[in-house]
Amino acid sequence: MFLLREACERDEEAILGLAEHLNTLNLPPERAFIRGLLQRSMTSFAGAPDFDPRRQFLFVLEDPEGAVVGTSMVHAQHGTLDEPHVFFRVIKEERYASIPTGDGLGHRDVHMVHTMLHLGHTYNGPSELGGLVLHPGLRRHPGRLGRLLSLGRLVFVASARSWFRDRMLAELLPPLYEGPEGKTRSPLWDALGSRFTGLSYDQADRLSMRNKDFIWRLFPSLPVHASLLPEGVISIIGQVGPSSAGAERLLRSVGFEYAGRVDPFDGGPHYEAATEQITIVRDSRTCRPIAGEPDTDAPPCIVAIASHDAPHFRAVWTRARMAEAAQPGVYPELVVPPEALARLGALSGAGQATLGTGCRLLAAPRH
């Protein structure tokens, strides 16, 4: 059974190996970066109950043998005084004129709708679902590993609601292409961003992981008329690329919608939702665990344990059955297979469900 849990210091080599294998911008194969990310994440999980915009939470997916095969993140706030959240607002602007015809006998109506890109930024942005990485050999796995990596972190949000903002952001990749030497290229960046910064897409994206100030300083402050860009560039603004199509469907299914904003690097769409209205957050329930076999028709769901002490969060995808509480003020019972409770560390030697002090078990409905 696969386990989603918070990343810890011993995961450094495994995460670095995963990063070297995939070589993505979300998880660069740089030891110093990964070590810093791990330290910030461990500090974030162990933090005080007060909100801190600097918190970053890194999760790892562990296979049944204990190997790390995926990662995902949540940022407490995307857009701070040190690192603003920068974006393009996509606005449609209409123009109309009645133009005399060349023969002098009448007029013709001209109605145009132009796409305008307005550069914007905020120092007080939403929480963000960060990059998700899954080993390519495990994609389309029957265990719904992508869903556990993506949705499991939202159960954590539900368990630590005061640590997150009232809105949640997810940035999706648009259609991209591979350039010389295998470098990722963006049509929008090639036509717009590179002309104002002198940087390649790869260089700019890597720089932005540490400093986004150059965007605000070098990009045009006035609205950009997308109509002046090549036709192939206009068509990808706000579009979801093939690699993000599954993520878009999953996000929509839990309440995210296109926010009318895009990434200034590549035109990838921003999806947002009110945190309390994300179905996983809204419908997560605190339960009393019961070790047992649910009915064969019991739906699969995410079952997680959140704790004040390390380990702070663990989650699995399993069948479970919830029984409503017999009286008000009492948590409902959740019948969970013993192997799932064992994977969560919530099964005693006598085969009984057990939760440590300061722990609570949460169940998120099927999605």
Look at 61-65, 150-154, 222-226, 354-358 and tell me which has the smallest mean pLDDT.
354-358
Indicate yes or no: pTM above 0.85.
yes
Which pLDDT does position 25 carry in this prediction? 67
Which pLDDT does position 344 carry in this prediction? 94
Average pLDDT over residues 28-34: 89
| Strand, coil or helix: 159 | helix
- Round the average pLDDT of the chain to a whole number and report it: 90
From residue 90, give the alpha-carbon distance in Å to each of 42, 119, 172, 222, 247. Answer: 37, 9, 15, 13, 21
Helices (H), 50-200: 145-159, 187-188, 194-197
Average pLDDT over residues 43-50: 90
- CA angle, corner 85, sides to 84 and 91, nearest 5? 135
Which residues does 196 contact at the CB level (< 8 Å), separation at least 6?
218, 219, 220
Strands (E), 182-255: 184-185, 224-225
From residue 59, give the alpha-carbon distance in Å to each of 14, 54, 149, 267. Answer: 13, 16, 8, 27
Q: At residue 62, does pLDDT exceed 70?
A: yes
Q: What are 8's strand-pairing partners?
A: none
Q: What are 333's strand-pairing partners?
A: 288, 323
Which pLDDT does position 327 carry in this prediction? 66
DSSP per-residue string spanning 6-30: E--GGGHHHHHHHHHHH--SSS-S-
Which pLDDT does position 110 carry in this prediction? 92
How many CB atoms are located within 10 Å of the residue 349 CB?
A: 6
Of 134 and 329, more confident: 134
Q: At residue 192, does pLDDT exceed 80?
A: yes
